[in-house]
Amino acid sequence: MRWVCGVTAVEDCLKFILECRTSQVYGIFESKTGGMVGIVSIGRRKDSAASGWFSGWIRSDKGKKGYFSDSGTLAIRQAFRKYGMHRLYARIDPNNRPARKALQKLGFRYEGCLRRDKLLHGLWINQECWGLLKSEWKNKA
């Protein structure tokens, strides 16, 4: 997890999840081994009870197996149904093609780029903005 300083091992990931008290964080575990393969999370914006963010990651060696789309769908369902949000947004590194594809598969739409928006390891990086409205969400089942 290059975007979270000091998180390299499974124990670091679990600690990171426990520290996310302002959001709902869901661990993603492989059924065969029980090993953790990633997380998805949702949280409310501080300035809007009806709008929130969506984020997540999958270990690079476990990509393209449907973990993110399956768990992302469940998290989005929670955000829209249980928590009554009407909009979710996500921000990603413009160079992260797998994240872009995953968000598109979940129904998110590209909304723009925030130039030099986040300080990461001493460098200002761009972030792409993606959004999903409850009214546009395809997986309403």
Query: pTM of this prediction?
Result: 0.80
* pLDDT per position as a tens digit, 48-82: 768 999 999 999 899 889 999 999 999 999 999 99
List, in order of start, the domains of the chain with CATH numbers: 22-136 (3.40.630.30)
* pLDDT per position as a tens digit, 88-107: 999 999 999 999 999 999 99
Q: Please give the Cα distance from 24 to 80 (Å, whole number).
A: 13
